[in-house]
Amino acid sequence: MERSLIHPILEHPATAVFARILATFMYWYAGIGFLLNFSGAIQTMEAQGFTQSPALIAALTLTVQLVGSAIVISGRHVWFGVGILSVFTLATIPLVHDFWNMTGAAAIQAQLETEEHMTVIGGLLAVAILSHVLRMRARLAPAQ
């Protein structure tokens, strides 16, 4: 099979790192934002209905976002970081995006956000699969 010009790019280790950085962008970007403006993070939690311990919820949220992202980006135990971020993302659906309890524009927006969340989880799972395949390929490769 003839190799195209794109194969070296796709096979370069930096491409996989870049993909993991982009796949986790919404998490680490939001986590850094919450860390830099913790009072704003608390206000966001209160606005989302978390009136009991909003500071604790904000702290847990930014921790999950940053730690999960760091694990995925590191390339080690990617499945674990993906699991953390995926469970977190799934949990936000009934807690924040419960479109089935809403009406009008708010319901439509929450449903769209739910659909986006499911797509992000699928992308994260693809990253975990790719990381596993690359790790297995590296183990099976003959020593050079």
For residue 111, what are the contacts with CB-CB under 8 A and spacing of at least 6?
Answer: 97, 99
Contact criterion met (CB below 8 Å) for 82 and 125: yes
| Range list of H helices, 13-77 | 13-23, 25-36, 38-47, 54-74
Tell me the per-residue pLDDT of 31-66, one tens digit each, with 9 for 90 and over.
999 999 999 999 999 999 999 999 999 999 999 999
What's the DSSP call for residue 142? P
Tell me the per-residue pLDDT of 70-83, one tens digit each, with 9 for 90 and over.
999 999 999 999 99
pLDDT computed for residue 34 by the predictor: 97
**Alpha-carbon span 108 to 106, nearest angstrom:** 5
Q: Which amino acid is at 39?
A: S
Closest CA to 89 of 55, 113, 70: 113
Q: Global pTM?
A: 0.89
Evaluate if residue 143 carries a pLDDT over 80.
Answer: no
Closest CA to 91 of 110, 112, 116, 114: 114
